[in-house]
Amino acid sequence: MKSTESLVRRIRDEVAKTVVGQEETFRLLLVTLLARGHAILEGVPGLAKTLLVHSLAKALDLPWGRIQFTPDMVPSDITGTEVLESTEGVREFRFVKGPVFTHILLADEINRTPPKTQSALLEAMQERHVTVLGRTHAIPDPFFVFATQNPLEQEGTYPLPEAQLDRFLLHIAMGYPSRSEELSILDADPGRVEGIRPVVSREELLEWISVSENLPVADKLKEYVLALVRGTRPGETALPEVNASVKWGAGPRASQMLLRAAKAWAILEGKALLDKESVDAVVLPVLRHRIILNYGARADGKTPETVVSAVQRSVEAAL
Per-residue pLDDT of the chain (319 residues; tens, 9 = 90+): 557 878 888 889 888 888 878 889 999 999 999 999 999 999 888 788 888 888 899 899 888 889 998 888 888 888 888 787 777 767 777 778 888 999 999 998 888 888 888 877 877 888 888 887 778 888 988 999 999 887 755 666 777 878 788 899 999 998 888 888 888 878 776 656 677 888 888 888 999 999 999 999 999 999 999 999 999 999 988 899 999 999 999 999 999 999 999 999 999 998 989 999 999 999 999 999 999 999 999 999 899 999 999 999 999 988 7
Q: 4-12: which pairs have CB atoms within 8 A and are 24 or more residues apart?
A: 4/208, 4/267, 4/268, 4/270, 5/270, 7/199, 7/200, 7/204, 7/208, 8/268, 10/59, 10/199, 10/200, 11/56, 11/59, 11/60, 11/199, 11/200
C-alpha to C-alpha distance for 19 and 185, rounded to whole angstroms = 8
> What are the boundaries of each domain within the chain?
4-206, 215-318
For the domain made up of 215-318, give the CATH fold: Helicase, Ruva Protein; domain 3 (1.10.8)
Residues 6+ apart with CB under 8 A from 118: 69, 110, 111, 158, 160, 161, 164
What's the confidence (pLDDT) of residue 253? 93
Strand ranges in 133-228 using DSSP code E only, listed in sequence order: 135-138, 144-149, 170-173
Upper half-sphere CA count for residue 270 (Cβ side, 13 Å): 8
C-alpha to C-alpha distance for 57 and 103, rounded to whole angstroms = 9
For the domain made up of 4-206, give the CATH fold: Rossmann fold (3.40.50)
What's the confidence (pLDDT) of residue 84? 75
Residue (of 56, 44, 241) closest to 148 by Cα position: 44
Strand partners, 123: none
Q: Which amino acid is at 294?
A: N
Q: Taking the mean position of all CA atoms in its chain, how far away is CA 232? A: 21
